[in-house]
């Protein structure tokens, strides 16, 4: 992303605004393992990529926000006290963040903004969290008095924006990653306690590479929310069996609990919970394996996650299963769907000496079957939300 260019677009679109501009950036994310565990109080293992969203912002002297999306060539404006907000999704993220920051005590005044990004949309790399985090960070920086809000408040403002203004009942992984990301490190987050630690990640002899299927089958909202509801149904069944126990999420449930509520839950809900319980254990197994530099074990766990996401959680699709099969056939160490599912990327842990052959094979075979060229993204772990200028 190019900040001088974005600033020149700003100067062109908002020629009447002569205030100083500030430039902010927030990245998309990868997740090594721990999928659909965040809203179940489990562990996740994300890191941020170099690709993200950049925004040029300057206060104006109007009680209004004027926003231009360079990528979509779309413009919207709204009053600061507007309670409906704009219709187009990309602006609803900005509007939602503005409202959430106001609720957290930031006195947001009128501003103009131009934003753009290089994180692919619908790829499971959290372009929307990057957009939310960019504005949460930027608007806090511009309008705070004193300390402003904490980084965790920025994360929660982003999540609340998804819940209230977009309709996706997401967890906290994506916004957390985008705000807290650190160059060269993955982060293991306990989504229940919100404690986390940075894990330097530079595997010798391996590369992390995303293969973007370039398909997105369903609208993110409803099937995602259905999965979350299934998990909550199982929690409710366990609570009804053990009213004296503190059971808030599937994090608090054991395999034994799951066995005991078999007759109280639908087969589908049980299947979803089976995946989540397994995934909780897999994140911890991957952390242990990383400490031992045992990348074969990391890869084995990644394949198990793919299988669970595909068969039990049912968030895969034909194209992603195909990409996973090719990775396996090529002897790739680990491969799985990344993010919410229903399309987007696979994340692959590939030995250096296998890399060229894998990329060539996966490209040819995917093109041959679907007539789509998959996009290859080599992962470079970059920094989280920041001010560029
Ligand atoms: C989406 C959500 C996250 C998380 C992942 C699946 O990216 O926004 O909160 O649930 O799906 O792990």
Angle CA(125)–CA(130)–CA(135) in degrees, nearest 5? 170
Residue 225 sits in the same domain as residue 317: yes
Check residue 218 and give its pLDDT.
Answer: 59
Task: Quote the CA–CA distance of 216 and 219 in Å, as a whole number.
Answer: 8
Bridge pairing between strands 334-337 and 343-351: antiparallel
Angle CA(105)–CA(40)–CA(243) in degrees, nearest 5? 100
Check residue 221 and give its pLDDT.
Answer: 62
Ligand 1 close to Cβ of residue 340 (< 6 A): yes
Residue 184 sits in the same domain as residue 251: no
Residue 188 sits in the same domain as residue 283: no
Q: Check pLDDT > 80 for residue 219.
A: no
Task: Quote the CA–CA distance of 117 and 54 in Å, as a whole number.
Answer: 6
Please give the average per-residue pLDDT across 359-386, as a whole number: 98
* Nearest partner of 125 among 114, 117, 116, 115, judged by Cα: 117
Q: Check pLDDT > 70 for residue 184.
A: yes
Asked about 174 being catalytic, the answer comes back as yes
Residue 124 sits in the same domain as residue 229: no
Residue 299 sits in the same domain as residue 182: no
Name the closest-CA residue to atom 9, ligand 1: 171
Rg (CA), the chain: 21
* Nearest partner of 57 among 169, 137, 121, judged by Cα: 137
pLDDT single digits (tens) 267-305:
999 999 999 999 999 999 999 999 999 999 999 999 999
- Phi and psi at 274, nearest 5°, equal -60, -45
Q: pTM of this prediction?
A: 0.97
Which CATH number characterizes residue 58's domain? 3.30.230.10
**What percentage of the chain reaches a pLDDT higher than 70?**
99
- Phi and psi at 69, nearest 5°, equal -95, 115
Chain-centroid distance of CA 380 in Å reads 16
Residue 211 sits in the same domain as residue 160: no
Please give the average per-residue pLDDT across 330-334, as a whole number: 98
Check residue 340 and give its pLDDT.
Answer: 93
Catalytic residue among 38, 112, 153, 174: 174
pLDDT single digits (tens) 50-96:
999 999 999 999 999 999 999 999 999 999 999 999 999 999 999 99
Bridge pairing between strands 111-117 and 64-69: parallel
Structure tokens that stand for 321 in this block:
């299963």
Nearest ligand 1 atom to alpha carbon 173:
9
Residue 174 sits in the same domain as residue 129: yes
Residues of the domain holding 232: 206-378
Ligand 1 close to Cβ of residue 339 (< 6 A): yes
Q: Which of 43, 132, 160, 170 to mutate to test the pocket of ligand 1 (most atoms within 8 A of CB)?
A: 170
Spatial neighbors of 196 by CB under 8 A, at least 6 apart, are: 176, 180, 187, 188, 189, 190
Name the closest-CA residue to atom 2, ligand 1: 170
Beta bridge partners of 337: 346
Q: Which of 340, 341, 342, 345 to mutate to test the pocket of ligand 1 (most atoms within 8 A of CB)?
A: 340
Q: Check pLDDT > 90 for residue 246.
A: yes
C-alpha 348 – ligand 1 centre gap (Å):
18
For the chain, where are the E strands, in sequence order? 22-31, 43-44, 46-59, 64-69, 74-79, 111-117, 185-190, 196-200, 206-216, 334-337, 343-351, 375-378, 386-387
Decide: 307 and 333 in contact? Cβ < 8 Å.
Answer: no
* Nearest partner of 231 among 268, 257, 190, 285, judged by Cα: 268
Check residue 196 and give its pLDDT.
Answer: 98
Check residue 132 and give its pLDDT.
Answer: 98
Decide: 9 and 152 in contact? Cβ < 8 Å.
Answer: no
Check residue 153 and give its pLDDT.
Answer: 98
Ligand 1 close to Cβ of residue 174 (< 6 A): yes
Ligand 1 close to Cβ of residue 158 (< 6 A): no
Q: Per the structure, how many domains does the chain have?
A: 2
Residue 260 sits in the same domain as residue 196: no
Residue 60 sits in the same domain as residue 124: yes
Residue 196 sits in the same domain as residue 251: no
C-alpha 161 – ligand 1 centre gap (Å):
14
Residue 340 sits in the same domain as residue 225: yes
Ligand 1 close to Cβ of residue 132 (< 6 A): no
* Nearest partner of 138 among 163, 117, 112, judged by Cα: 112
Check residue 87 and give its pLDDT.
Answer: 96
Which CATH number characterizes residue 319's domain? 3.30.70.890
Residue 167 sits in the same domain as residue 78: yes
Q: Check pLDDT > 60 for residue 366.
A: yes
Residues 149, 191, 174, 382: is their CA dihedral positive or negative? Answer: positive
Query: Mean of the per-residue pLDDT values for the chain?
Result: 96
Please give the average per-residue pLDDT across 218-247, as a whole number: 90
pLDDT single digits (tens) 4-35:
999 999 999 999 999 999 999 999 999 999 99
Ligand 1 close to Cβ of residue 270 (< 6 A): no
C-alpha 217 – ligand 1 centre gap (Å):
16
């Amino acid at each position: 992303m190019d900040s001088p260019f974005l600033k020149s677009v700003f100067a062109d679109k908002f020629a009447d605004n002569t205030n100083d501009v500030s430039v902010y950036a927030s990245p998309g994310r990868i997740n090594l393992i721990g999928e659909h565990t965040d809203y179940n109080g489990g562990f996740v293992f994300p890191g941020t990529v170099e690709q993200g969203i950049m925004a040029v912002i300057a206060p104006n002297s109007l009680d209004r926000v004027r926003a231009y999306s360079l990528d979509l060539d779309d413009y919207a404006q709204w009053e600061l006290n507007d309670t409906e907000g704009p219709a187009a999704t990309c602006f609803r993220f900005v509007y939602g963040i503005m409202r959430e920051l106001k609720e957290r005590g930031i006195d947001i005044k009128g501003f103009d903004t131009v934003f753009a990004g290089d994180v692919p949309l619908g790829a499971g790399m959290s372009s929307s969290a990057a957009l939310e985090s960019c504005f949460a960070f930027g608007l806090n920086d511009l309008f705070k008095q004193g300390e402003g809000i904490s980084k965790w408040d920025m994360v929660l403002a982003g999540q609340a924006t998804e819940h209230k203004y977009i309709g996706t009942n997401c967890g906290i992984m994506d916004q957390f990653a985008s705000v807290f990301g650190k160059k060269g490190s993955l982060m293991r987050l306990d989504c229940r306690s919100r404690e986390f630690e940075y894990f330097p990640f530079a595997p010798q002899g391996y590369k992390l590479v995303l293969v973007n299927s370039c398909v997105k089958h369903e609208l993110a909202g409803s099937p995602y929310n259905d999965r979350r509801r299934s998990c909550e149904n199982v929690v409710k069944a366990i609570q009804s069996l053990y009213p004296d126990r503190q059971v808030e999420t599937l994090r608090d449930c054991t395999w034994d609990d799951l066995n005991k509520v078999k007759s109280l839950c639908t087969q589908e809900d049980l299947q979803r919970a089976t995946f989540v319980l397994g995934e909780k254990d897999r994140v911890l197994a991957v952390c242990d394996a990383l400490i031992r530099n045992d990348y074969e074990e990391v890869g084995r766990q990644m394949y198990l996650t793919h299988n669970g996401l595909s068969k039990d959680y049912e968030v895969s699709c034909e194209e992603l299963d195909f990409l996973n099969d090719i990775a396996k056939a090529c002897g790739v160490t680990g491969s799985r769907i990344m993010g919410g599912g229903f399309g987007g990327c696979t994340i692959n842990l590939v030995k250096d000496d296998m890399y060229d052959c894998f990329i060539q094979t996966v490209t040819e075979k995917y093109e041959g079957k679907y007539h789509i060229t998959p996009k290859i993204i080599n992962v470079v772990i970059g920094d989280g939300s920041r001010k560029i200028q």
